[in-house]
Amino acid sequence: MKTLLFLTLVLPCITFAEEAKTYLQTGVIFMGRNFEEATASNTNDGIESLEGGFSLGTGHRFTHNFAVEAEFIQSMGFEVQNAGRTGEISMYALTIAPVYIFKPSFLPEQMELFAKFRIGYTKMQGTDILGNNGKEDSITGGMGFGVTYKFNENWSGLIDLGGLWADDDIEDYDFHPWQVGIRFHF
């Protein structure tokens, strides 16, 4: 009961602080793939290439230093090759992330840095290099770091350098969704 009373009194104060803002964001994603077990012989380890994708997200900034974001990240398809065989895997991730925002004194007034930890759900589907079709899902997680630049009261740009790890029977890899996007603040 004390906890419920505490949350009832404190959360509105945090949520309606002067910095409290809800925002929508979208971005273009450049994903670097780092396969852990891309082939049975593990000969394909390492960064393969950059692939494209997009993201849609929303967030709420509770205080000057803390926000929470939810994101949908979609790849446009990864091509996998080994010994003359080719496969293609597409994936998407639904994530939620607590975000810590900070502003070193040497940065311009419009800029802020952030760090976040995404955790969520990943779905991969496609054909591996052996011609096997599959759909697999897994829990995903990873750190992200970036910068935002405020253009005006409602619009800002962002660069988000992040990573997620996914594991299933189709492929097992780290992917790095590096995002360049825009944000609209309500």
Look at residue 149 in the predicted model and tell me its pLDDT.
Answer: 97
Q: Would you say 125 and 90 are in contact if contact means Cβ atoms under 8 Å apart?
A: yes
2 domain-assigned? no
% the chain with pLDDT above 90: 40
Instruction: Judge whether 49 lies within some domain.
Output: yes
CATH at 106: 2.40.160.20
- Structural domain boundaries enclosing 102: 21-185
First-to-last alpha carbon distance for the chain, in angstroms, is: 34
Q: What count of Cα atoms within 13 Å lies in the side-chain half-sphere of residue 113?
A: 9
Q: How many domains does the chain have?
A: 1
The C-alpha angle 100, 104, 107, rounded to 5 degrees, equals 115
Residue 124, C-beta contacts closer than 8 angstroms, at least 6 positions apart: 89, 90, 91, 134, 135, 136, 137, 138, 166, 168, 170, 171
Q: pLDDT band at residue 92, thresholds of 50, 70 and 90?
A: confident
- The per-residue pLDDT of the chain, averaged, comes to 78
10 assigned to some structural domain: no
8 domain-assigned? no
Q: How many whole angstroms separate alpha carbon 157 and alpha carbon 182?
A: 4
* Higher pLDDT, residue 106 or 129: 106
Residues 6+ apart with CB under 8 A from 136: 123, 124, 125, 168, 169, 170
Query: Does residue 65 lie within any of the structural domains?
Result: yes
pLDDT value at residue 75: 83
- 15 found inside a domain: no
